Amino acid sequence: MSDPTVADLIARRFGRAPEVPEALNHSPALKGMVGRGSCRRFDPTPVAAEVLETLAAVALAAPSKSDLQQCDVLLVTEPETMARLKALLTKQAWVADTPALVVFLANNKRQRQIQQWRGQPFPNDHLDTFFNASVDAAIVLAFFIAAAEAAGLGCCPISAIRNALPEVRDILELPDHVFPVVALGVGYPAHAEPAISPRLPLHNTVHHDRFVDITEADIDAYDHWRAGLTPFGQRPDPADQAPPAEPLWSEAKARSYAKAHRADFGAFIREIGFKLD
């Protein structure tokens, strides 16, 4: 597909596209967003510090809950710091060759400082405070990814940074009420076209006026549709050799979530001063 439209790319990712208005169907920005894919193979070319700083500035223009601005972006540039972080992420083999790491921090310390400096109480020390800072960081992450990919870079989020929170805290010298939500591998892609990860059909995830729950038959249909696709979201060539059999999407996700993940996360968040009641 030489010059796909927005509708083409939506159909490639979701199996079917809605009726896309003509005014949107050729938008380069929308095509870049819906046609994007995570990048895990990078060219060894370093990413200049000024590029990362520019992308961080663009990302921090994202919406912020009540203008509280509770996200910080930590650019990892020192080789020793980079090596220490990568040593914690060995289960993701591709991280070893990532030219740059960016860590998105939820920062609720700053607001507590402001309350103290302005002589105001802090009555909001509860779960919503933790949630607001986390969501701010997630929104900034999304803006950073969009900006980086518009600049010709590839990215892949790394939630596994939360597998070793005490170690990450020490490496990055994070104070109480500041914690990493996610890291991001950033670099120039080693391949031209990103692999498009198929998503659940839009009729299962886009609701009109009221929520409609998914059924097991919906999941079965998605499993079998996805299993018949190549990594680029297209039907494989019948002449190609069949890939090794793998579990269907739902089976793979069910097996993964049958194991405990980060069961100590709540304890760490409380340790650094958050109240989650």
Q: Is residue 267 part of a domain?
A: no
Q: Is residue 223 part of a domain?
A: yes
- Asked which of 166, 193, 220 is the last residue of a domain, the reply is 193
User: 152 with 64, same domain?
Assistant: yes
User: 212 with 165, same domain?
Assistant: no
User: 81 with 179, same domain?
Assistant: yes
The pLDDT-based confidence of 231 (bands split at 50, 70, 90) is low
User: 189 with 53, same domain?
Assistant: yes
Q: Which pLDDT does position 239 carry in this prediction?
A: 47
User: 147 with 116, same domain?
Assistant: yes
Q: Which pLDDT does position 68 carry in this prediction?
A: 97
Give whole-number Cα distances, 91 to 44, 86, 88, 107, 223, in Å: 20, 10, 8, 27, 26
Q: For residue range 16-63, list pLDDT tens digits in order.
A: 999 999 999 999 999 999 999 999 999 999 999 999 999 999 999 999
Residue 138 token pair: 């997630």
Mean pLDDT value of segment 88-103:
94
As a whole number, the mean pLDDT across the chain is 93
Burial letters 109-123, b for 16+ CB under 10 A, else e: bebbeeeeeeeeeee
User: 88 with 167, same domain?
Assistant: yes
Q: Which pLDDT does position 240 carry in this prediction?
A: 46
We report the CATH number of the domain holding residue 145 as 3.40.109.10
Q: For residue range 58-81, list pLDDT tens digits in order.
A: 999 999 999 999 999 999 999 999
Q: Is residue 43 part of a domain?
A: no
User: 90 with 171, same domain?
Assistant: yes
User: 178 with 71, same domain?
Assistant: yes
- Asked which of 154, 174, 193 is the last residue of a domain, the reply is 193
Q: Which pLDDT does position 233 carry in this prediction?
A: 47
Q: How many domains does the chain have?
A: 2
Give whole-number Cα distances, 21 to 5, 11, 26, 54, in Å: 11, 15, 10, 33
Burial letters 5-38, b for 16+ CB under 10 A, else e: bbbbbbbbbbbebeebeeeebeeeebbebbbbbe
Q: Which pLDDT does position 235 carry in this prediction?
A: 45
User: 74 with 185, same domain?
Assistant: yes
Mean pLDDT value of segment 119-123:
97
Q: For residue range 147-182, list pLDDT tens digits in order.
A: 999 999 999 999 999 999 999 999 999 999 999 999
**Does 222 have pLDDT greater than 60?**
yes
Q: Is residue 41 part of a domain?
A: no
Order the strands of the 178-187 sheet from edge to edge: 71-76, 100-107, 178-187, 154-158
Q: Which pLDDT does position 195 carry in this prediction?
A: 82
**Does 1 have pLDDT greater than 90?**
no
User: 225 with 188, same domain?
Assistant: no
Q: Which pLDDT does position 191 carry in this prediction?
A: 79
Domain that residue 171 falls in: 49-193
Q: Is residue 269 part of a domain?
A: no
User: 158 with 246, same domain?
Assistant: no
User: 169 with 96, same domain?
Assistant: yes
